[in-house]
C-alpha cells in the first residue's frame, strides 16, 4: 500500500526554510503562469530553489520558475511561490498538499492564490481579472484524502467560507484604487493538461463556472483544512474553448499574462497594503 506523508515530512521542509530566514512570513502568495515577475518587487529578499528544500516538489512547467522568494512586499512579510504544482504534471493529489502545509508551518495565516484561467462567462474579456468567490471541483480526488493529519485540521471541515469574504471586499476596494474594472465569479477546476472541449465549457457554464483552470483549487482545499484565509485571483488569459472560432494556444495564454502582468502587480500590491 502507498505510504502516506506524515506531519514530520512537511516539518522537515519548513524547518529548512526557517533555517534560512530570520522572520516568519505572514502571507503566502502563489504566482500563476507568467505572473512570476511580482517577485522582482520583493525587498530584502532571500531566494530558495525548490530543489534545495527537503521533501518539496520541483516545478516542471516552463513558465513556472521553481523558486521560493521570501522578504518584504507592501510592508508585509511574504513568502512567494514563483512556480506551483499541478496534478497534470504527474503528482498525486496527496503530494499537492505539500506547498500549503509548508506555508502554514512557516507561520502564514493567509494565502493569495493567483492563476491564469479561461473565461467561461461570456461577459468577461481576455485580460480581465476575476476575484474567486467560490470554486467547483467535481473531478479527481481530494488532496486531503487518506489518513487525516490532526496537526493540520479535522477530518471533515467546512468549505463554505474558503474564499474569505473580508478579503473579497478588500480586493474590490483595492481594484477601485487601482482604477480596475474587476470581475467576481466561480472558478471551475479541470485537471488538464489538455484544454477543455467546447462541450465541456458549455457544461461548466450550466453548472455555474465563470472561469476554468488547472490549479488553485487543490491549494484552496489544503489551506481551508489548516485554517488559512484564502484570496483567489484569476487572470482571464483567453476566452474558454468554443466561445471564439480560434483554437486555444499556450502562446495566447502567455501573451495575455505578459500584457496584464503590470496591472495584476499593482492590484496585488494595493491588496497587500490593506490586508
Q: Which residues of this protein are in contact with ligand HPA, per CB under 6 A?
A: 116-118, 190, 195-196, 212-214, 237-238, 240, 248, 253
In the complex, what is the shortest distance from the CB of residue 54 to ligand HPA, in angstroms, rounded to a whole number? Answer: 31
Q: Whose Cβ is closer to ligand HPA: residue 161's or residue 249's?
A: 249
Q: How does DSSP classify residue 22?
A: S
Number of neighbouring beta carbons within 10 Å of residue 145: 13
Phi-psi region of 218 (alpha: psi -120 to 50; beta: other; left: phi over 0): alpha
- Grid cell for residue 270: 494595493
Q: Rounded to whole angstroms, how far apart are CA atoms 96 and 143?
A: 6
Q: Whose Cβ is closer to ligand HPA: residue 134's or residue 196's?
A: 196
- Grid cell for residue 110: 493567509
Q: Whose Cβ is closer to ligand HPA: residue 214's or residue 268's?
A: 214
Q: Whose Cβ is closer to ligand HPA: residue 82's or residue 216's?
A: 216
Q: Whose Cβ is closer to ligand HPA: residue 82's or residue 238's?
A: 238
- Grid cell for residue 267: 492590484
Residue nearest to ligand HPA (CB): 118
Q: Rounded to whole angstroms, how far apart are CA atoms 12 and 15?
A: 5
In the complex, what is the shortest distance from the CB of residue 11 to ligand HPA, in angstroms, rounded to a whole number? Answer: 33
Residue of 113, 104, 147, 100 lying closest to 2 (CA atoms): 147
In the complex, what is the shortest distance from the CB of residue 215 to ligand HPA, in angstroms, rounded to a whole number? Answer: 8
In the complex, what is the shortest distance from the CB of residue 214 to ligand HPA, in angstroms, rounded to a whole number? Answer: 5
In the complex, what is the shortest distance from the CB of residue 119 to ligand HPA, in angstroms, rounded to a whole number? Answer: 8
Count of residues for the chain? 275
Amino acid at each position: 500500500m502507498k505510504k502516506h506523508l506524515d506531519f514530520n515530512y512537511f516539518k522537515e521542509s519548513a524547518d529548512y526554510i526557517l533555517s534560512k530566514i530570520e522572520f516568519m512570513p505572514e502571507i503566502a502568495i502563489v504566482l500563476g503562469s507568467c505572473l512570476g515577475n511580482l517577485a522582482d518587487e520583493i525587498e530584502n529578499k532571500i531566494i530558495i530553489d525548490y530543489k534545495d528544500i527537503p521533501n518539496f516538489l520541483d516545478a516542471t512547467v516552463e513558465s513556472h520558475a521553481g523558486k521560493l522568494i521570501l522578504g518584504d512586499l507592501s510592508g508585509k512579510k511574504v513568502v512567494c511561490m514563483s512556480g506551483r504544482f499541478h496534478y497534470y504534471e504527474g503528482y498525486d493529489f496527496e503530494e499537492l498538499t505539500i506547498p500549503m502545509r509548508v506555508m502554514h508551518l512557516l507561520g502564514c495565516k493567509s494565502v493569495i492564490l493567483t492563476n491564469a484561467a479561461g473565461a467561461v462567462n461570456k461577459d468577461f474579456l481576455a485580460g480581465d481579472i476575476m476575484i474567486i468567490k467560490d470554486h467547483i471541483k467535481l473531478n479527481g480526488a481530494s488532496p486531503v484524502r487518506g489518513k487525516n493529519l490532526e496537526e493540520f485540521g479535522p477530518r471533515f471541515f467546512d468549505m463554505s467560507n474558503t474564499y474569505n469574504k473580508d478579503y473579497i471586499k478588500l480586493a474590490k476596494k483595492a481594484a477601485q484604487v487601482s482604477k480596475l474594472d474587476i470581475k467576481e465569479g466561480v472558478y471551475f477546476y479541470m485537471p488538464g493538461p489538455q484544454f477543455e472541449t467546447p462541450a465541456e465549457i458549455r457544461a461548466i457554464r450550466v453548472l455555474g463556472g465563470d472561469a476554468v483552470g488547472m490549479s488553485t483549487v487543490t491549494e484552496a482545499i489544503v489551506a481551508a483544512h489548516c485554517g488559512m484565509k484564502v484570496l483567489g485571483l484569476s487572470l482571464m488569459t483567453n476566452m474558454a474553448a468554443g466561445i471564439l472560432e480560434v483554437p486555444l494556444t499556450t502562446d495566447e495564454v502567455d501573451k495575455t499574462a505578459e500584457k496584464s502582468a503590470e496591472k495584476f502587480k499593482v492590484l496585488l500590491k494595493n491588496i497587500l497594503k490593506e490586508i
